[in-house]
Structure 1
Amino acid sequence: MNGISRPEDDAVRKKAFAFIVLFGVVSLLADMTYEGARSLVGQFMQVLGASAAAVGLAVGAGEFLGYAIRLFSGKLADRTRRYWTVAIAGYAVQLGAIPLLALVGRWELAVLLIFAERLGKGLRNPSRDALLSYAASRTGRGLGFGLHEAMDQIGAFLGPALLSLLFLLTGTRGAGSEATYRLGFALLGIPAVLAVLAVLAARFLFPRPSDLEASSHAPHLGRTTFSPAYGWYLASAALLAAGVADFPLVAFHLGRAGALPEPLIPALYAGAMAVDAGAALLVGVLYDRIGFAVLPVMWTLEVFTAPLLFLGGPAAVVAGMALWGISMGTQESVMRAVIADLVPHDRRATAYGLFHTVFGGAWFAGSALMGLLYDRAPAYLVVFSVTVQVLSVMALLIAWRVHRREHAS
């Protein structure tokens, strides 16, 4: 009977695929909301009287808080087994904060809402990834997480694009009209409400996504601690995050160096987001077909990103942003799929929470350090980035070897 697909297996697989697509719709709508808001909030705070330092500190601190809470929320979800409750609460807090920006009159209140939005995202992400991992065991984890990331990135593109259209239609120029910003945040309440309704529909239609987990994809069910392979993988991911340059720093360099005309810089970012979506799907399928071996190749591509972006001319910058987009797509799809293959299902939310907390902390620290190094000379930034990325590949190879040994035993 080997190789023969049973009708009940096909039915479960179709149900799992439907769950992933529905959650993809949730993420598409959610990303429309908060990525749209992120494209306006800096300018809006400026209109309200905030300084550049206040904007930078608020955004950076919000990101840190959003990653730091993930370890707590992951443990909470695994301990209580209330994955849906934690996820829905996170979506409600995150998406509810954004339309309220239309009502604030002081930049300090806007900062509080920015913190609420980031904390809401941090609260729901580990539970969301755990729920997705169950269904993705039936479709192929790479494909499942890749499809979800692709739909996520469609929303990340649509939100800012539609708000740009709003500004064009209203004829807003320069610092912009405060009324137009408020209208933009209010309009983002529409996809926010739809996203919450979609996640409630998913909860109603799929009350127990863990039932979709394929038994052959539930590793080490008796294990009470994380495996050494997970530890090495976590170290590799942290090094990778520390060496990735944030796009604001890339944009700052491109503007100062004149490597590209300023109007093309946002278009370059949009192109990277399109590459992100395509790479998430492609790399996900490759992971399902050839397994862990695809990861060292993707990690190695990242080594070349900083030299191309910070030391090259226009053609090199375009190539570097393409690699940057591939890296983002890999991080948001296959990196999550691997965790599901390394960790038992009853500790998966904790594993995702720990992963995101370490990853975010390393990204924050690496970004801050690269900013300081760039002020000295772009070459210093490049040397740092390449060094930690090479170390990341080495740690990943160790994780692969340890995983193969654990799997063999």
Structure 2
Amino acid sequence: MTTTPASDRSSTPEQERWLTPGVRGIGAASFLADVGHEIPTALLPSLLTSTLGAPAAALGAIEGVSDALAGAARFGGGVLADDPVRRRRVAVGGYTTTAVLGAATAAASSVWQVGVLRAAAWTARGLRVPARNALLADIVPAGAYGRAYGFERMMDNLGAIFGPLLALGLVAWLGVQWAIVLSVIPGVLAAAAIVYAIRHTPEPASRDKVPLRFRVRPILRGELGRLMAAVAAFEVGNVAATLLILRAIDLLTPGHGTRTATTIALGLYTAYNVAATAASIPAGRLADRLGVRGPVLVLTGGVAAFAVSYGLFAVTGAALIVLAIPFILAGAGIGAVETAQHSAVAALAPKELRGSAFGLLATVQSLGNLAASTLVGVLWSVFSPAVAFAYLTVWMLLALAGLLFTAARPTG
């Protein structure tokens, strides 16, 4: 595969005009969709336990099944997204279906109904992810991938901040069930934003449908394969942010009490999301500026931030200022990592397999996160939180080694 010299990747007027109506449309869709699904997600525990009287185990089972289906759907969605015509339909249908099914959980009268609706909504959400990412690569030149994906990640992270706040306001005003019902509004607006983006995307050269084929081996050849191996090591050590919150609560409770400790921990999690939002576009700009190796180098920096963060979580005490440092590092790290992962896959994947490449990336992310959270939970319970975070730090170091190996190999 030929690559473009660094001096040519971000200098032309066409490449400078990266924030096009299509990019803005996809960014708006990510923001609105995240607002829409964060509302039922934030209120699902209350709906199940307080309204339907279900035990906490029901929430765990529903979320586990839903996450597993979303991961499988991302792989299948990648195959669908290889077709430029089909990826448009999958994107619109995925955003619309997620919004409608998520809001429909408010009308559920039993736990099994909530489970079915949640699982179906998350499956639709998984299907749309590779299609959205492939659409974004269709819109911008290669020299602007970092900025474009950084903008999309920034908007997604903003939605993660705004969604729970909106949920709190809606619950105070209308109650849990009506708040969930109204989540359909930002969700449908997200689908409209994707339609707007598609209308500003160049028409496919051919209207012939691409045959559906699961093609993994061609994606894993060469530099993209080495990158995916390093990404897999990172994701196996990329634990769910809820465990960071739990670590903060455990450390703060002896000195502050459970209620205050929980409030402070949620404030730290907000700082995590703010850091992720703030880091996304600068990380993308840096990736574009550094040329061919830019995404890998930015990804390396993001993984290094996680390694330091998890190392601090393993040894830190309850001092608030000290505890804020690993939260902010992890937030900045995820902003850089997600931006760099997407821009690297867009640049390195064969164009005809771009959808499958994004689907494989999303599947690795889902399965890796599941493995990380599960194993860390066991280590936490059997040994200690310090051992659990030391385990995660080792995986970050392995990912760093893989990325440095990838960066050292010649491009071709």
- TM band (smaller chain): 0.7 to 0.9
Q: Does 1:269 align with 2:259?
A: no
- 354, 357, 362: which one pairs with 2:360? 354
Q: Does 1:406 align with 2:411?
A: yes
| Cα deviation, residue 97, structure 1 | 0.8
In the aligned structure 2, how far is the partner of 1:331 from the partner of 1:122?
Answer: 19
Are 1:235 and 1:395, in contact at CA under 8 Å, matched by a contact in 2?
A: yes
Q: Note closer, same or farther for the CA distance 1:13–1:306 as it changes in structure 2 (3 Å cut).
A: closer
For each residue in 1:242-285, what CA deviation from the matched residue of structure 2 results, as whole angstroms up to 9, or x when unmatched? Answer: 11232222222222332672212222111111111111111111
Letter in 2 for 1:369: L
TM-score between the two structures when normalised by the length of structure 2: 0.86
Q: What is aligned with 1:164?
A: 168
In the aligned structure 2, how far is the partner of 1:318 from the partner of 1:16?
Answer: 33
Q: What is aligned with 1:93?
A: 97
| Cα deviation, residue 137, structure 1 | 2.2
- 35, 39, 57: which one pairs with 1:32? 35
Q: Does 1:132 align with 2:136?
A: yes
In the aligned structure 2, how far is the partner of 1:90 from the partner of 1:15?
Answer: 25
In the aligned structure 2, how far is the partner of 1:76 from the partner of 1:10?
Answer: 33
Q: Does 1:383 align with 2:390?
A: yes
In the aligned structure 2, how far is the partner of 1:322 from the partner of 1:209?
Answer: 42
In the aligned structure 1, how far is the partner of 2:344 from the partner of 2:70?
Answer: 22
TM-score between the two structures when normalised by the length of structure 1: 0.86
Q: Does 1:143 align with 2:150?
A: no
| Cα deviation, residue 199, structure 1 | 1.8
For each residue in 1:162-199, what CA deviation from the matched residue of structure 2 results, as whole angstroms up to 9, or x when unmatched? Answer: 111233446xxxxxxxxx11111111121122112222
In the aligned structure 1, how far is the partner of 2:344 from the partner of 2:35?
Answer: 27
Q: What is aligned with 2:285?
A: 285
- 245, 250, 259: which one pairs with 1:251? 245
In the aligned structure 2, how far is the partner of 1:251 from the partner of 1:60?
Answer: 19
1:113-132 matched pairs, under 5 angstroms: 113-132=117-136
| Cα deviation, residue 399, structure 1 | 1.9
- 158, 166, 189: which one pairs with 2:184? 189
For each residue in 1:314-347, what CA deviation from the matched residue of structure 2 results, as whole angstroms up to 9, or x when unmatched? Answer: 2232000001111221232121001111112111
Q: Does 1:330 align with 2:321?
A: no
Unaligned runs of 5+ in 2: 1-6, 207-216
Are 1:16 and 1:139, in contact at CA under 8 Å, matched by a contact in 2?
A: no
In the aligned structure 2, how far is the partner of 1:266 from the partner of 1:119?
Answer: 28
Letter in 1 for 2:377: G
Q: What is aligned with 1:75?
A: 79
Q: Does 1:299 align with 2:303?
A: yes
For each residue in 1:50-84, what CA deviation from the matched residue of structure 2 results, as whole angstroms up to 9, or x when unmatched? Answer: 21122112112211211122111111221574110
In the aligned structure 2, how far is the partner of 1:210 from the partner of 1:278?
Answer: 37
More moved, 199-208 vs 232-241: 199-208
Q: What is aligned with 1:232?
A: 226
Are 1:25 and 1:151, in contact at CA under 8 Å, matched by a contact in 2?
A: yes
Q: What is aligned with 2:193?
A: 198
Q: Note closer, same or farther for the CA distance 1:12–1:389 as it changes in structure 2 (3 Å cut).
A: closer
More moved, 258-267 vs 116-125: 258-267
Are 2:38 and 2:163, in contact at CA under 8 Å, matched by a contact in 1?
A: yes
Q: Note closer, same or farther for the CA distance 1:19–1:353 as it changes in structure 2 (3 Å cut).
A: same
For each residue in 1:191-210, what CA deviation from the matched residue of structure 2 results, as whole angstroms up to 9, or x when unmatched? Answer: 12211222222233435278
In the aligned structure 1, how far is the partner of 2:368 from the partner of 2:326?
Answer: 21
Describe the SS at the equivalent of 2:78. Answer: helix
Describe the SS at the equivalent of 1:244. Answer: coil
| Cα deviation, residue 357, structure 1 | 0.7
Equivalenced residue count is 380
Are 2:219 and 2:357, in contact at CA under 8 Å, matched by a contact in 1?
A: no
| Cα deviation, residue 224, structure 1 | 5.2
| Cα deviation, residue 311, structure 1 | 2.8
In the aligned structure 2, how far is the partner of 1:164 from the partner of 1:55?
Answer: 20
Are 2:27 and 2:155, in contact at CA under 8 Å, matched by a contact in 1?
A: yes
Are 2:276 and 2:332, in contact at CA under 8 Å, matched by a contact in 1?
A: yes
Unaligned runs of 5+ in 1: 171-179, 212-222
For each residue in 1:103-127, what CA deviation from the matched residue of structure 2 results, as whole angstroms up to 9, or x when unmatched? Answer: 1111211111111121111101111
In the aligned structure 1, how far is the partner of 2:377 from the partner of 2:354?
Answer: 34
Q: Note closer, same or farther for the CA distance 1:197–1:324 as it changes in structure 2 (3 Å cut).
A: same
Letter in 2 for 1:344: P
| Cα deviation, residue 15, structure 1 | 7.4
Q: Note closer, same or farther for the CA distance 1:4–1:318 as it changes in structure 2 (3 Å cut).
A: closer
| Cα deviation, residue 294, structure 1 | 2.9
Describe the SS at the equivalent of 2:140. Answer: helix
Are 1:94 and 1:120, in contact at CA under 8 Å, matched by a contact in 2?
A: yes
More moved, 201-210 vs 283-292: 201-210
Q: What is aligned with 1:174?
A: none
Moved over 6 A (4+): none
